Amino acid sequence: MKPTSPSTATSEPSAPDLCALHPQCQRVARWWLGLQDQSQRDHRNRHVLVADDEPVIREMLSNILVERVGCQISTVATGDEALSLLETERFDVVIADMVMPGLHGIELVQTLKDRFPDVDVLVMTGFGDAFPFVEVVRAGASDFILKPHQPGEIEAKLHRIFKDRELREQLFFAEQKYRNLFEHSMEGNILISPETFEVVDANFAFATLIGREHDDIIGIPVFDLLDPAAHSRFREGVEMFRPAGQGKLVDVTLLRPEGDELYIDISMAFVSIPGDEIVFLTFRDVTEKRREQHRLMHAAQTDSLTGLSNKKMLHTRLRTVVPDRRHRRGDDRSCLMFIDLDNFKQCNDTHGHQTGDRLIKTVGEIIRGTISEQGDEGFRYGGDEFAVLLPGANMVGAVEVAERMRSQFESGQCFGTTMSIGVAEYKEGMDTEAFIEAADGALYKAKDGGKNIVHVA
């Protein structure tokens, strides 16, 4: 049987595949775009197919739906005709009688949903006992009407189905916008579960940033991407920012498969959705910025000629070595030595400042080559004066180090200069200044005692 009113749906764009939406993207799209219910009572673009073998029913439904619902109507007399028409035209809803010639009943409902999953099926039957509501819905029907239907019942059910479709379509397009915003962001974005910390989704920028394939990131704990030293800080950040819904962690180290590290600022946004919660993370690569800051900081703390730390850093380091009176222990010990080049001014006057600079560099190399790597540190204190801090060392060990330095310098080309060294051991009750004064006093006595010697305080 031909449709009672021709369809214009073939000229419209294809309907989105609403059943193919990623569940997580559906939920995030609601948050991202603030999806609102914009459903209206204007259903002129909706197309309903009525399948019933009774002409009077088809005519009655056509009149009711056109006049009261305002949608477009096509009609057929059998389930087979309905399937054939659905192959060429787009319909939103099929109203199907359960008893018709050819394919009908539960089998018709199942076939409709299998072949056209986006079409809603509204079942209509006068045999309620033969087709229980539960079985019909299980087969895929959206709703159920018993003949004869109550006044206004079919309009109400269609309005509800249309409203649900509008929301689903809005959600689909919202999800597409979300995907575009998410995928095309210049910054790395991922979604994680706040409970398992597993990565739910990641965009192309993040996969590029981390140096991994997209599929290799999904489902792994976010901790697999972070420096182990940052794990507890990240967990604490999630708990700290959760009540406020957002927050930012700075200078988090991200690990790449090649072993290189990136400095990252991580912005967190907590997305609360019914029955679920997700954390949206934005990763901003600040590696170059941090490296430049570190370079500037290192330059401010380092003597450019020798590469040793400067005088300011000696005072800073001493504050970490000299124990606070409230936290003193019996095994707190350290040694500090001051080094001065004897006759350095005369060398400069005789051989020139370039030679003097070479000697200063030589002292720096000797200090670095002699001290251990376990906390010992050398400093250029100023001019031709140097300091060496030996945390944990006693006087015997410190004097051995000092003698090696003096002997090594003396064995080289020193242009008439020698090395005097004063060594002081930390004593209980000393503060930073007293410790420095003790080492400086020992140096003064070394120079006053003939130079080119090691003197202990």
Give me the residue spans of the domains in the chain.
Answer: 9-175, 185-289, 303-456
303-456 maps to CATH 3.30.750.24: no
Tokens at 49, concatenated: 């197919």
Q: What is the pLDDT of residues 378-412, one digit of tens each?
A: 999 988 999 999 988 899 999 999 999 999 999 88
pLDDT the model gives residue 28: 56
Taking only the tens place, the pLDDT of each residue in 145-191 is 887 777 788 888 888 888 888 877 776 666 666 677 787 788 899 99
> What is the architecture, at CATH level 2, of domain 9-175?
3-Layer(aba) Sandwich (3.40)
Highest mean predicted confidence (pLDDT) among 49-63, 178-192, 273-287: 49-63
- CA dist 286 → 97, 255, 399 (Å): 65, 14, 45
pLDDT at 67: 86
In whole numbers, what is the pLDDT of the chain averaged over residues? 83
Tell me, what's the pLDDT at 281?
93
Q: What is the pLDDT of residue 392?
A: 86
| 387 bridge partner residues | 338, 379
Cα-only R_g, the chain: 41
Q: pLDDT tens for residues 225-250?
A: 999 999 999 999 999 998 888 999 99
Task: Please answer whether residues 389 and 373 qualify as being in contact, where contact means their C-beta atoms are separated by less than 8 angstroms.
Answer: no
Range of weakest confidence among 18-22, 154-158, 199-203, 432-436: 18-22
Phi and psi (nearest 5°) for 329? -125, 160
Q: Would you place residue 86 in the very low, low, confident or very high pLDDT band (cuts 50, 70, 90)?
A: very high
pLDDT at 434: 92
Is 287:262 a contact under the CB 8 Å cutoff? Answer: yes
Helix, strand, coil shares, percent, the chain, to 5: 45, 25, 30
pLDDT tier at 15, thresholds 50, 70, 90: very low
* Confidence check: pLDDT of 427 > 80: yes
Label residue 274 by pLDDT band (50, 70, 90): low
pLDDT the model gives residue 11: 38
Q: What is the pTM of this model?
A: 0.45
pLDDT band at residue 198, thresholds of 50, 70 and 90?
A: very high
Highest averaged pLDDT of the listed ranges 20-24, 25-29, 284-288, 292-296: 284-288
Query: Measuring CA to CA, how many Å separate 94 from each of 4, 85, 97, 112, 167?
Result: 15, 11, 10, 9, 19
List, for residues 24-56, the tens digit of each pLDDT value: 555 555 555 454 444 445 788 899 999 999 999
Catalytic annotation, pick one of 384, 431, 440, 448: 384
Q: Which has more pLDDT, 329 or 306?
A: 306
Choice between 238 and 271, residue whose per-residue pLDDT is larger:
238
Phi-psi region of 309 (alpha: psi -120 to 50; beta: other; left: phi over 0): beta
Reply yes or no on whether 384 is catalytic.
yes
Cis amide leading into 148 (omega within 30)? yes
For residue 397, the number of C-alpha atoms closer than 13 Å in the C-beta half-sphere is 16
Domain range 185-289, CATH class: alpha beta
**What residues pair up with 51 in beta bridges, in sequence order?**
76, 96
Domain 9-175 shares a fold with domain 185-289: no
129 pLDDT higher than 80: no
Q: Do residues 8 and 75 touch, judged by C-beta distance below 8 A?
A: no
Angle at 178 between CA 173 and CA 183, to 5 degrees: 125
The per-residue pLDDT for 326 is: 40
Predicted confidence (pLDDT) at residue 432 exceeds the cutoff of 60 = yes
pLDDT of residue 176: 67
pLDDT above 80: residue 108: yes
Q: What percentage of the chain has pLDDT greater than the value 90?
A: 42
Judged on CB neighbours under 10 Å (0-12, 13-18, 19+), 371 is buried
pLDDT at 16 over 70: no
